[in-house]
Structure formats: C-alpha cells, structure tokens
C-alpha cells in the first residue's frame, strides 16, 4: 500500500476540545470522511481512529487518521500508522491549525519549521524528518496579550463559526488537490498571487 496517502488530522481527544481552534485538523478529516462515505474505526496497532478508502472514486488509496492522543504527542500514532501501512513521509499529510496565517486561509507546504506547533514538532521527532506535507488551516493570532496556548484551546468565535464550514471545505479541497495534482499545483490554486 506504499502508493497510498496517510492524512492525519491533528487535535485533542474528547468532546470538550472538539470545537477548539486546535482541533480544526480533525474537523477537516471529518469532512473528508463524509466525502468518502465512511466512518472512522479504532486501529489495533496505533492509538488512532482510521478510515481506509479512496479520496474520490477511482482516486488514490488513502488512510484518514485522527490520533487519540493529545496534540503534543501526535508523533507516536502518526509514526506507527506510517510504518503499519508502509507509507513514506513524502506521502504523509498533516492537517493542522496555524496561528501564523489569518483565519479563513489555507496554505500548503513541504517540510520546514514547526512554528512552535508542538503537534508538528512531535511528528517530526517521531518520523526523524521534517519532510512531510502540511495543510495549514489559518486560525489567526490571539487578540491583545492572550497566550497562544489559551487561544487555540478556545472554540471559534460567533462570526468565525459562520465561515468555518467554508474554511473546512476549502482545506478538504486542498488535501484532495494535493493528492490529485501535487504540491506545486495545489499551492498555485490555494495561495493567492502576491500583488
């Protein structure tokens, strides 16, 4: 199954975190699962729930995964799943919240730094590489002097919740475009041209 994709949605387990900004990666995975017409099930070899299938009819095989660990220890389940399915880091996509880009914005990249994101840091450590793909879902910066950790553990605001379904939809589209057309084409489509 080495030509498959492993798409990991980062977040924290439990209903109390489900609407948090930090869990937007898992929200995107729920949208992808809905498009695939499947349900997540517990994985025997990793602390995660997974859905195996095709990203679209006739498309590539994919494993959607949501770690059941807290965000900061996402690396163990991600690494275990990559080994179990024989998926190279080049075909691993981490979908995560990103403070450094505005809310309602999606960006894609390969490798690079983790920008203080402990979930990504733990994945890089567990895989012993930073060279995996990221779909970065913008949640914006905290207001005033609010601590970033407190900000990402809060639910989206009322105005944001109106636009959230569109953001999740766009991020899911970005994952599909990445798998269908590759990173440069996906970046061209989802990164607006600089004036």
- Residues acting as catalytic residues: 22
- Round the CA-based radius of gyration of the chain to a whole number and report it: 15
Count of Cβ atoms closer than 10 Å to residue 161 Cβ: 11
For strand 48-54 and strand 41-42, is the pairing parallel, antiparallel, or unpaired? antiparallel
Q: Are 150 and 13 in contact (CB under 8 A)?
A: no
Q: Is residue 52 classed as helix, strand or coil in its secondary structure?
A: strand
- Nearest CA-CA partner of 120 in 67, 163, 192, 72: 72
Q: By CB neighbour count within 10 A (0-12 exposed, 13-18 middle, 19+ buried), where does 8 fall?
A: buried
Q: How far apart are CA 89 and CA 66, in angstroms?
A: 17
């Amino acid at each position: 199954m080495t030509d498959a994709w492993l798409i990991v949605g980062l977040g924290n387990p439990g209903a109390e975190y489900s609407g948090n900004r930090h869990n937007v990666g898992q929200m995107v995975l729920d949208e992808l699962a809905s498009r695939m017409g499947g349900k997540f099930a517990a994985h025997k070899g990793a602390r995660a729930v997974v859905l195996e299938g095709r990203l679209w009819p006739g498309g590539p095989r994919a494993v959607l995964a949501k770690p059941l660990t807290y965000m900061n220890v996402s690396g163990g389940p991600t690494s275990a799943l990559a080994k179990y399915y024989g998926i190279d880091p080049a075909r691993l996509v981490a979908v995560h919240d990103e403070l450094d880009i505005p809310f309602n914005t999606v960006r894609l990249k390969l490798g690079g730094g983790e920008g203080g994101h402990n979930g990504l840091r733990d994945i890089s450590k567990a895989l012993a590489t930073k060279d995996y793909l990221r779909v970065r879902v913008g949640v914006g910066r905290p207001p005033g002097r609010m601590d970033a950790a407190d900000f990402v553990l809060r639910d989206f605001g009322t105005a944001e919740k109106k636009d959230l379904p569109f953001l999740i939809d766009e991020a899911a589209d970005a994952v599909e475009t990445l798998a269908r057309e590759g990173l440069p084409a996906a970046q061209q489509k989802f990164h607006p041209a600089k004036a």
